[in-house]
A and B are shown apart, each in its own frame.
Chain A
């Protein structure tokens, strides 16, 4: 462990990696705070810039964008009531109310402090737990991998609240999309319509750029711009009472965020909602939640940062994405010729530990950047969106083109952009679609291998204890919300609580 940490620091502290870590967290903050851009978009669009980098440097920068965006997304949520990041959606409830009462600075400060504490807490757990888990995962065969991917799909579907059926529909649509191209086992070309570009499948990063960048930009044009609330340096000071009230929520948010973030496919949005829901039940000031309570900012912001780091547990140890952004990062690993999974810790210790240690460094940079400079970042919200979104479109398309130097990528982005707009408009959940698309090839491979192991009998899964436990967990997750609804309810207030929160 100590040797690994030393190796990590030696890797992360090179001038080059420090510089790109800083660029990543700064870009992430800016990307997170701009409406219409999120960490998934940022990583997808900027991924082509890193193609010439050393893999460790590239991943340090891209991961910096990911957790930097968690900080930046808060600024927009608080000042505009428009989340810059999906994981900051719930922060708008209390953050914006605090801003309207002149406490925007305090909301931003506690968000930065909570995010930092949660990030460090979850990183320690990540470093302690990921290596033994990776060792354990070495015992996994196709049957166990198949069950874990089913768990991932069940997780993301089960936490879609009332939209579980839509979540399942989108996850199956994602799996279906993943079948486009040549079947790895038999070489059969499926749904390619004689287009050679489709033989290798639907290009994942281009789809991400289309869905999250172009689709989001189009949606923002429809929504229209809102006026940001001003914040000043002196408002950044938080009172002793606010700090005291935030300690519990930060602790609860950190623990919940880490636990939920470890589930494949859960992302960080889910953690922020669950953390907010828990505060609504246990906080001493729960009656003030929704009206500008600092707990409503501290808890979800801690949870989303803890979850962002915990998302790397399934991503690095199993090769199964923890959420949308880690799905893009998984794509980046493949582009750099790396195979995430249990062997990564053994075959690429420098990369893994350099990356993990860079999270520490990046979070320190973010705290230093965000505490005193939040009002300066907030000024960026004054850039007219009229100028911003055409440039986002330009960058998205040129970024997509540069992945394969092919106009086909540009068309994929356009089509995915149209799809992304309608998905956003009609609230079709994107995360299950993305997860289905990413794990589709892995899922099919595991399915084929499992079928071969059982000579065509997929019930062989039942003879593998680990797979059985994981599948039972998946069934519990999928059926859990429905079972909870069957429980008797005591008060009218409880009936108003959302499912899954």
Chain B
């Protein structure tokens, strides 16, 4: 199996490989911005070249180590700054399998599906801002997540979504006078 295919099959290595590519592209671009200016002084391309180059080399090495060497951490690894052996005690999630059920009775696979649904819904809400306005779009997001994703009672979810929207409207729209976009429906605080 080629290294490239192995990287694609390993999430962590893929992330590092992508970062390495970004770093490489930035380093190359940096060279075009001018690494040094008159008198050999540092130019606008110096830091992009150095930081991009360092990112490319280190992330490239980490990506390769991820597929050829031992894996540094399993997905859902320890939090920032957590030493690996301590993290084994702290994050029971690390070794989660599909049988791992949380307090609401969801398996790991269901939770990951939900995660992507929430990402999609959030993206949808942002895109809807120009159409229905900020408050309506995100108020609807709260309602849809509570009912569809989290399977909470319809009425309770509606009350919570309405209360959250009302609170945000009060604090940001009225108190702070933030001109929240109203979209085509005009349900905002602009103007």
Residues from chain A with a CB closer than 8 A to the CB of B29 are: 190-191
**B187 contacts A by Cβ under 8 Å:** no
Pairwise interchain contact A172-B115, C-beta atoms closer than 8 A: no
**A486 contacts B by Cβ under 8 Å:** no
Interface residues of A in 360-386 (CB under 8 A from B): 384, 386
The 8 Å CB contact of B83, one of A169, A401, A500, is A500
Pairwise interchain contact B61-A165, C-beta atoms closer than 8 A: yes
| Interface secondary structure of B, over-half rule | helix
Interface residues of A in 392-408 (CB under 8 A from B): 393-395, 397-398, 401-402, 405, 407
Residues from chain A with a CB closer than 8 A to the CB of B104 are: 224-225, 386
Quote the shortest CB–CB distance from A364 to chain B (angstroms). 28
Residues from chain B with a CB closer than 8 A to the CB of A226 are: 102-103
Contact string against B for A residues 399-441, beta-carbon threshold 8 Å, 1 for contact and 0 otherwise: 0011001010011001001100110111111110000100010
CB-based nearest B residue for A405: B179
Segment with Cβ contacts to B, from A7-15, A20-28, A445-453: A445-453
| Interface secondary structure of A, over-half rule | helix
Pairwise interchain contact B115-A49, C-beta atoms closer than 8 A: no
Pairwise interchain contact A397-B115, C-beta atoms closer than 8 A: no
**A106 contacts B by Cβ under 8 Å:** no
Pairwise interchain contact B164-A391, C-beta atoms closer than 8 A: yes
**B182 contacts A by Cβ under 8 Å:** no
Interface residues of B in 129-170 (CB under 8 A from A): 129-130, 134, 138-139, 141-142, 145-146, 149-150, 152, 157, 160-161, 164-165, 168
Pairwise interchain contact A49-B75, C-beta atoms closer than 8 A: no
Chain A interface size, as a band, is: 35 or more
Pairwise interchain contact A391-B142, C-beta atoms closer than 8 A: yes
Pairwise interchain contact A431-B106, C-beta atoms closer than 8 A: no
Residues from chain A with a CB closer than 8 A to the CB of B102 are: 223-226
Pairwise interchain contact A221-B114, C-beta atoms closer than 8 A: yes
Quote the shortest CB–CB distance from B3 to chain A (angstroms). 18
Interface residues of A in 223-257 (CB under 8 A from B): 223-227
**A145 contacts B by Cβ under 8 Å:** no
Pairwise interchain contact A165-B62, C-beta atoms closer than 8 A: yes
CA A414 to CA B19, docked complex, whole Å: 18
CB-based nearest B residue for A496: B85
Pairwise interchain contact B142-A390, C-beta atoms closer than 8 A: yes
Residues from chain B with a CB closer than 8 A to the CB of A190 are: 29-30, 33, 44-45, 48
Pairwise interchain contact B119-A218, C-beta atoms closer than 8 A: yes
**B171 contacts A by Cβ under 8 Å:** yes
Name, among B22, B51, B78, B92, the residue most crowded by chain A CB atoms within 10 Å (CB to CB).
B51
CA A424 to CA B75, docked complex, whole Å: 9
Pairwise interchain contact B73-A173, C-beta atoms closer than 8 A: no
CA A397 to CA B172, docked complex, whole Å: 12
Name, among A161, A227, A405, the residue most crowded by chain B CB atoms within 10 Å (CB to CB).
A161
Interface residues of B in 1-33 (CB under 8 A from A): 11-12, 15-16, 19, 22-23, 26, 29-30, 33
Pairwise interchain contact A225-B112, C-beta atoms closer than 8 A: no
Residues from chain B with a CB closer than 8 A to the CB of A183 are: 33, 44
Quote the shortest CB–CB distance from A477 to chain B (angstroms). 15
**A151 contacts B by Cβ under 8 Å:** no
Residues from chain A with a CB closer than 8 A to the CB of B54 are: 168-169, 172
Residues from chain B with a CB closer than 8 A to the CB of A188 are: 33-34, 44
CB-based nearest A residue for B181: A407
Segment with Cβ contacts to B, from A86-94, A351-359, A467-475: A86-94
Interface residue tally for chain B (C-beta within 8 Å)? 92
**B185 contacts A by Cβ under 8 Å:** no
Pairwise interchain contact A425-B40, C-beta atoms closer than 8 A: no
Residues from chain B with a CB closer than 8 A to the CB of A162 are: 72, 83-84
Residues from chain A with a CB closer than 8 A to the CB of B11 are: 425-426
CA A405 to CA B188, docked complex, whole Å: 13
Residues from chain B with a CB closer than 8 A to the CB of A51 are: 176
CA A165 to CA B54, docked complex, whole Å: 11
Name, among A267, A390, A414, the residue most crowded by chain B CB atoms within 10 Å (CB to CB).
A390
Quote the shortest CB–CB distance from B62 to chain A (angstroms). 6
CA A73 to CA B91, docked complex, whole Å: 16
Interface residues of B in 63-103 (CB under 8 A from A): 72-73, 75-86, 89-90, 92-93, 100-103
Pairwise interchain contact A89-B81, C-beta atoms closer than 8 A: yes
Pairwise interchain contact B134-A172, C-beta atoms closer than 8 A: no
CB-based nearest A residue for B25: A191
Residues from chain B with a CB closer than 8 A to the CB of A499 are: 83
Given contacts A89-B82, A89-B90, A402-B178, contact A169 B62 (CB under 8 A): yes
CA A458 to CA B35, docked complex, whole Å: 14
Given contacts A49-B171, A169-B58, A185-B44, contact A161 B103 (CB under 8 A): no
Name, among B58, B78, B171, B179, the residue most crowded by chain A CB atoms within 10 Å (CB to CB).
B58
Shortest 5 CB-CB contacts between residues of A and residues of B? A224-B102, A456-B40, A427-B77, A386-B150, A498-B83
